[in-house]
Structure 1
Amino acid sequence: MSAPVAPRSVNIASIAAAIGAISVVGLGLALSIPLLAFELDARGISPTWIGINTATGGIATITLAPFLPNMVRRFGAGALLMVAVLTAAVSLLAFKVTASFLLWFPLRFIFGGALCVLFVVSEFWINAAAPNHRRGLVIGIYGTVLSMGFAGGPAILSLVGTTGWAPYLCGAIFFVLASIPVMIGAASAPAIEKESSRGVLSLMRIAPAATLAAFVFGAVETGLINFLPLYGLHRGLNEPQSALLLTIAELGNVGLQLPLGLLSDRVDRRKLLLVCGTIGVVGAFLIPHLAIDSWAMWATVFTTTGIVAGLYTVGLTLLGARFDGAALATANAAFIMLYSVGLIVGPTAVGGGMQLFDPNGFAWTIGAFLALYAAVVAGQIWRDR
């Protein structure tokens, strides 16, 4: 484990480059997953095969992430981000012109790999550029922009529709626009001087509170986005009301990351992660007992979702405080790998729970993920007293 680095001045151009990159990651994920699902459905592809194709993106992340620290060291963070942005834009357009469903698998792998590079490299960049005494503030802004990107994808689809070239062109244009701050900040991109002496798995063991936060966030957030509207329908809401419930949840993500980031600069970050996990448990188990169309439900969904998203923000801040240089890049790779595993495991587990205990298995499964995480963090804090 590396010692915390000395205080550094704030490089606005460098921070803007990382934030510009992450904005399109969220937007790209939130736009592409439903858009490509609609495209395949219109072509007559079964839901099972749509799900398998979607999971290929997660497999790309798990495969590529361990190699990214050395790629940053060899080619530079700025160059990698530029290649990833352009690859994402071109591959998104390629989906529209690729008629063969079989070719969608390597194409999805390439697209998922490009998003993986954007995720890992931008997180390493923002952590390396953030001053120690304002790390939580900077990463809180970073997390807010990521959440806004997640909210922006569906908004674009609602404006331009899901058919024709318009949504693909919009997505590609946003990727290209994100290259502008990357080009401006490339000269001040953080560099890795030597290889990390530790591997991805060893860093997971050193900082489980931070790295497991990514897994739980990925599992809970993806399970919630997929099944919260369906949960609303099963409890008597109509489709617009269910969509509103999901919108309120996503607003919690956007609204709470900056306050949590600021708070993480003032308190023990592991204890803050424990508090976030515990509040998430309480909120998840409270949901089945609230009237589905009540203000209490809206407030609970807003708070629970926003606080759970804080696992990502605070976990990333904790990584930056504990590691530096090559170790930080490797830790970020571990963070994104576990996030991607969560993307695969979460919807499967939450959907299975909802099927077994319809409809409240949705909330109970989410609560179980968070309870397990809270127990792990509490155990680590207890051991280190």
Structure 2
Amino acid sequence: MLIVLRNTWPLFLGLTFLMLGNGLQGTLLGIRGAQEGFTTGQMSVVMSAYFVGFLFASRMAPAMIRRVGHVRVFAALGSCISAALILFPTITDPIAWTLLRMVLGFCFCGVYITVESWLNDASTNETRGRAMSLYLIVQMVGIIAAQALVNLPDPSGFVLFVIPSVLVSIAFAPILLNAGPAPVFQSTNRMKLIEIYRTSPLGCVSVFLLGGIFSAMFGMAAVFGTVAELSVREISIFVAVIYTGGLLCQYPIGWLSDRMDRRTLILALAAVGAVAAFVIMPFTGVFGALLVTGFVLGGVVNPLYSLAIAYTNDYLQPEDMAAASAGLLFLNGIGAIGGPLLVGWMMSELGPGGFFAFMGGLLAAMALYSAYRMTQRPAGTITGAFVPVVPSVSSAAVAAVAIEAVRDPEEGEGRPAE
């Protein structure tokens, strides 16, 4: 790990500030929107817009990088992020916020693609797996730490919007001042979605459902907190606990997934998450119970995403993984756009409990579909190790960790999938 840090510390330092800014703005908007009188439905559209921009950027950013290079794309997108963050408190209109959130989603996705391809290029075959694991840790820790910043100034003021803008601006300094050369961006071919689905129906359905769950959980958690009449401090703790669960549970679940039928583990985790979500619905006013449920759901959803990626890769050849990763990220993005919209409608109809009813329903559907798929074909051969990723990364990172898992130098070249 020290070798990884020595070679790529500017990237990780910049990423830390970037995630502090992104984690802060996500929670802050949910709180500030309620203070400005936005309805739950309006806030669901605002939060969904981020994932629309993210999806567009996943398709457009690689072409931008190939045309003008990493450094120029990086600087341009960073400037747009800082400007958008400053504009939120000056234009308190739902339509304006929706457009600004779309800009943020587009820019952050482009930045992630740039960082991930840079990190992939700077790593060797021996260090790439550790580099991507550290990338996950830095992402999660940055977002968790950002929740503490929400409690500093009054969210109704201007200062809390200045802080993430400054953090994002600072994030680019160590990367842009790094003397190392920018990498050559490597594009990949794409697989048709129907081909990926035929290869792994469970993987595709799981990734799609998890897109909705993840965007609802991490995009609407602060909105849920305002509907449930939590204080700013309680909302920040609730959001931080969700991310903490995701960080702490990735590795033990990953260890387990390499030693058993991954479909069984997907079924079990989805069932546990569904039960936790349905049980908490009558007790959304009990803060301690919310924290326990938040930890469980965060600890289930993040590993499930990595698990669905690993399971799909079990049925792919190494040369197809990079192409398939783009299709899986697209499915996840489509699901993510609908998540905030549906959970916002359900909270409008059911109150705070609608937040958990939505996630419980999708997790239950995933568990049932997993059980069905287990009757359709025998378990496949595990061709590589589970590698933790989060739904906010781009296909560049998913492809890199997928291929690294198969070509682990300590495990050999991997076995062919069934």
TM-score clears 0.5: yes
What is residue 142 of structure 1 aligned with on the other side?
A: 135
Shift of 1:136: 4.9
Q: Which has the higher helix share?
A: 1
Q: Deviations over 1:291-325 (max 9, x none)?
A: 96698986564244223212345566789997989
1:97 to 1:325, Cα distance in 2 relative to 1, 3 A: farther
Q: How does 1:58-97 map to 2 (within 5 A)?
A: 58-97=51-90
Cα RMSD, aligned residues only: 4.7
SS of residue paired to 1:159:
coil
Take 1:360 and 1:220, find their aligned partners in 2: how far apart are those partners?
Answer: 15
1:267 paired residue among 247, 251, 258: 258
SS at match of 1:158: coil
Aligned partner of 2:188 in structure 1 is: 196
The one-letter code sitting in structure 2 at the alignment partner of 1:178 is A
The 3-state SS of whatever aligns with 2:106 is: helix
Is it true that 1:257 corresponds to 2:250 in the alignment?
A: yes
Q: Deviations over 1:18-43 (max 9, x none)?
A: 54565456444432234345555555
Q: Give the residue type in structure 1 aligned to 2:150.
A: L
Deviates more, 1:122-131 or 1:244-253: 122-131
CA distance in 1, matches of 2:3, 2:365: 37
The alpha carbon displacement at 1:93 in A equals 1.8
Matches for 1:167-246 after TM superposition, within 5 Å? 167-183=160-176, 187=180, 189-193=182-186, 195-198=187-190, 201=193, 205=197, 214-225=207-218, 226=220, 246=239
SS in 2 for 1:139: helix
Task: Give, in angstroms, the shift of residue 116 of structure 1.
Answer: 1.8
- Structure 1's 106 and 123: CA in aligned 2 closer, same or farther, altered over 3 A? same
Aligned CA distance change for structure 1 residues 12 and 104 (closer, same or farther; 3 Å): same
Give TM-score scaled by structure 2 length: 0.67
Q: Which runs of 5+ in 1 are unaligned?
A: 1-8
Identical columns (%): 20
2:274 aligned residue (269, 280, 284): 284
Task: Assess if the C-alpha contact under 8 Å between 2:10 and 2:174 holds in 1.
Answer: yes
Change (3 A) 1:339 1:64: same
User: Which residue number corresponds to residue 401 of structure 2?
Assistant: none
How big is the shift at 1:117?
0.9
TM-score by length of 1: 0.71
In the other structure, the counterpart of 2:144 is 151
Identify the range of structure 1 (210-219 vs 352-361) with the bigger mean alpha-carbon deviation.
352-361
Give the 3 Å change call, closer, same or farther, for CA 257–178 of structure 1 in structure 2. farther
Partners of 1:323 and 1:26 lie apart in 2 by 33
Report what 2:101 is aligned to.
108
Unaligned runs of 5+ in 2: 381-417
Residue 285 of structure 1 and its aligned partner are, at CA, apart by 0.9
| 1:30 alignment partner in structure 2 | 23
Look up the SS of the partner of 1:91 in the other structure. Answer: helix
Cα pair 1:277 1:373 within 8 Å, conserved: yes
What is the aligned length?
370
